[in-house]
Every structure is written in C-alpha cells, then in structure tokens.
Amino acid sequence: MIPIDLRPHTNAWAATYDRDRARGTVNAWGNSFPAEELPFGGSLALGGIEFELPPKADGAFDHCEALGQRIELPHSCRGVGLLAFGELGAQTVEMAIGSPDGGVEHMTVHVNGWLVEGNPPANSDRLLCSHLHYVGGYELSQLRPAMWSVRVGWTRDDGTWISLGENPFFHVVAMTALGFRDD
C-alpha cells in the first residue's frame, strides 16, 4: 500500500476547527467534520486499508470534490483505496483508469453518505466522528459525520493514472494505491 498525495488536486474544506467553522464546504449550509477528530498529519486503517492524511494547513483545502481530477499513481497498480463520503446521501462517480499502453478502463464507484443518525453499531469500514460542525457554533446530536473506506479494483494490473468523473457530491479525503505486481 502506497499513499497518494492528493494535495495538488484538493478544492474544498471537509473539516474545520471550532475557530474556522465558516470555511466548511461539505454542503450548502457550510457543515463540516470536526478537524480535531481526524488524523491530519497521521494515518488510520479502515476496511483493511491504510490511509495517510497530510497535515492540515491553515487556509489550504483538505479534500477533493470529484470534478474531473486526473491523479497520477505512484507506480503501476491494480486498485486503490478511497477514504470518501457522499454529500446528500450515497453517491457515485465515474472513474477512468489508464495504463501505459494507452488502454483505459471505466467504472462506477459508489460511496455511502456522510451523515449517520444517532449511535450506530461499530463498522470497520467507517470513521465516525462524535459531532457535526455547524457554522453557527452549535451542536446537535441527531446527525454525525462519517467517512468510508472504499476498495476499487480494476481488471488490468498496470493502472498508472485515475481520472475522477464530475460529481461535486462525491468527496475524496485520502487515496492509497493497492495491488502491485510484486505483491
């Protein structure tokens, strides 16, 4: 597993600290994840995949809304793990995977929605935060934000780039390359 640096492709804020809640852009109401509960500058394992989140830099975007970004992979691989979530419920995005010989494989990727009600049972594929950040500085316990581990594999064993389709409701926080020829 090799983490993929998404910083050149980020375009929105998923997480805010109490002091900067107004920067949240997960939805039209400015809601966001509580940044203090996410391992920025560290790693976490979900669904058997290790993810690394870069340090959260003040004023810098922290994730990708899927808007057609082309992401180069560190070297040929057979899949990726996504730490992702859907806005306004479960979402899909079309993804293209390219190989050095010019071949391109297309697939549809699905992710669950980011809001979970109450206190659901534990789930090893989900990072569940304790509360949702509201712009007005208040807290409600009915909805909690969650990110999901999604494993995406393709039939070719030499994917060298990924192109995310265009769905601004599909959010990618981290990506890890999986399945190398020498595995």
The candidate with the shortest Cα–Cα distance to 149, out of 120, 177, 178, 174, is 174
Q: How many residues does the chain have?
A: 183
| Beta carbons of 154 and 96 less than 8 angstroms apart | no
Q: What is the pLDDT of residue 75?
A: 76
pLDDT in tens, the chain (183 residues): 899 999 999 999 999 998 888 888 898 888 999 999 999 999 999 999 999 999 998 889 999 999 999 999 987 888 999 999 999 999 999 999 998 888 999 999 999 999 999 889 889 999 999 999 988 877 777 889 999 999 999 987 788 899 999 999 999 999 999 986 544
- CB within 8 A of 171, min separation 6: which ones? 12, 14, 26, 63, 64, 65, 66, 84, 85, 86, 87, 114
- Contact between 16 and 24 under an 8 Å Cβ cutoff? The reply is yes
pTM: 0.93
Contacts of 124-131 with C-beta under 8 Å, sequence gap 24+, read 124/46, 124/47, 124/48, 125/46, 125/47, 125/149, 126/46, 127/38, 127/44, 127/46, 127/83, 129/33, 129/34, 129/37, 129/38, 130/34, 130/37, 131/34
pLDDT of 138: 74
What local confidence, expressed as pLDDT, does residue 180 receive? Answer: 61
